[in-house]
Amino acid sequence: MKLKCKICGSEFEHINPRANVCSDKCRKENELINARNRKKKYRAKLKKNKVVLPKQCIFCNKYFIPTHQNQKFCSDECRHKQLLINQRKADTKYYYNHRPRMLKKARDFYKENKDYFLQWQKDNKIRCDKYKKNFEERNPGNHYKRNLKWRKNNPEKWRLSNNNWYKNKCKTDVIFHFIKLVTIILNPFFISFIIITWISFFKIFFIFITSNFIIFLPL
């Protein structure tokens, strides 16, 4: 029995007179079309019979009237913002799950491009300071914890760095005290005070010597 395909329009032979499609490919397409039509009819019925209640947006907590049953956000802006937050959470989770490999990769990349990074930090000093301040505000005490962890894991490096810091500090302290002394000595009030003290000392000494000399003179 010759029949005509509903999808592609070609003729085919089949025993069943109710057959509509010629092949599996056309059958799958026909099933998809039928499913779409059923959904459209179902939605049309729901719109007629169902009262649409307002929903609360997940991101901004505003109430809105949804256009379909699975709508969670009031606008595309809220949806994009929530997607960014979810993406950040997924990235942090991935980072903590693969932390050693990621840190090794980052260190290798930094070693290869160290000069470029240092130059960029010099050129964008204000931006780097802003990043540091924001990080400290978001993670209070995190730097101290990381420092303690590094000390436990690298005790020899910590001793060397501590000794170097102490030596440099001693050098800077000596220079600072020397400069302070020089400034005090070169101060005009200090110079005038020294001159007055020396003059008074010589006067007292001269008076003392003359008095003794007069006492021991023969009559």
How confident is the model over 33-61, as pLDDT tens digits? 888 888 888 778 777 766 678 889 999 99
Domain ranges (residues) in the chain: 1-50, 171-215
pLDDT digits (tens, 9 = 90+) for 182-198: 666 666 666 677 777 77
The full 3-state SS of the chain, as one line of letters, equals CEEECCCCCCEEECCCCCCCCCCHHHHHHHHHHHHHHHHHHHHHHHHHHCCCCCEECCCCCCEECCCCCCCCCCCHHHHHHHHHHHHHHHHHHHHHHCHHHHHHHHHHHHHHCHHHHHHHHHHCHHHHHHHHHHHHHHCCCHHHHHHHHHHHHCHHHHHHHHHHHHHHHHHHHHHHHHHHHHHHHCCHHHHHHHHHHHHHHHHHHHHHHHHHHHHCCCC
pLDDT digit string, tens, across residues 58-92: 999 999 888 777 888 988 899 999 999 999 999 98
For the ranges 29-38, 140-149, 209-218, the lowest mean pLDDT is seen at 209-218
